[in-house]
């Protein structure tokens, strides 16, 4: 089953205008590439309320704004190995918004970003350095 296509506010207004101009509902649905039931519900809602805006959705509202979400994404991309707690602190300093680490992880997952760990390599001791320098001096 293909994903549902939502009509934006401009398309909803256009559909209502076409219907008021006498265009049949089936033709409006065909022009906008949606099901006729979408147009029927839109017309019913418009005649009842006089508006074409979407209704409020149930559920808890988001703690972060779209601007803060973009900032979280930018902070994560600037420092790829930053943890969610570091990003959370940077966000709090920048916008004075207090969110949990889990919220940061949820937003990063929404942007399809995964956590990164720096590559590990053994530290070179002075003895190692001396051997490497000795090896290079042969050539």
| Co-location of 75 and 103 in the same domain | yes
Could you tell me if residue 39 is inside a domain?
yes
pLDDT tens-digit series, residues 33-58: 999 999 999 999 999 999 888 878 78
Instruction: Please report, for residues 2, 3, 26, 46, 130, the alpha-carbon distance to residue 31 in angstroms, rounded to integers and kept in the order given.
Output: 18, 18, 9, 19, 76
The count of domains in the chain is 2
124 located within any domain: no
Q: Is residue 78 part of a domain?
A: yes
Task: Give, rounded to a whole angstrom, the gap between the first and last alpha carbons of the chain.
Answer: 66
Task: Please indicate, yes or no, whether residues 103 and 70 belong to a single structural domain of this protein.
Answer: yes
Do residue 77 and residue 41 come from a single domain? no
Distance CA 77, CA 96 (A): 21
Q: Do both 70 and 105 map to the same domain?
A: yes
Summarised one tens digit per residue, pLDDT across range 97-138 is: 999 999 999 999 999 998 888 788 888 888 988 888 888 887
Is 31 contained in some domain?
yes
CB atoms within 10 A of CB 102: 10
**Residue in 94, 33, 28, 29 with CA at minimum distance from that of residue 64:** 94
Q: Cα(56)–Cα(41) distance, rounded to whole angstroms? A: 16
Residue 1 binned pLDDT confidence (cut-offs 50, 70, 90):
very low
Residues 35 and 70 both lie in one domain: no
**Given pLDDT bands bounded at 50, 70 and 90, which one contains residue 12?**
very high
C-alpha 79/C-alpha 64 separation (Å) is 21
Host domain of residue 41: 9-49
Query: Which pLDDT does position 2 carry in this prediction?
Result: 60
């Amino acid at each position: 089953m293909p994903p549902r296509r939502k009509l934006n506010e401009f398309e909803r207004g256009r559909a209502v205008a076409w219907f008021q101009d006498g265009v049949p509902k089936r033709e409006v649905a065909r022009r906008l590439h949606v099901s006729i039931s979408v147009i029927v519900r839109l017309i019913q809602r418009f005649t009842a309320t006089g508006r074409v805006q979407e209704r409020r959705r149930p559920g808890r509202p988001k703690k972060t704004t779209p601007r803060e979400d973009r900032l979280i994404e930018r902070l994560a991309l600037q420092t790829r190995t930053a943890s969610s707690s570091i990003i959370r602190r940077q966000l709090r300093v920048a916008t004075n918004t207090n969110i949990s680490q889990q919220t940061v992880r949820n937003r990063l997952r929404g942007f399809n970003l995964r956590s990164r760990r720096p590559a590990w390599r053994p530290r070179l001791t002075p003895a190692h350095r001396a051997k490497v320098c000795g090896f290079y001096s042969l050539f």
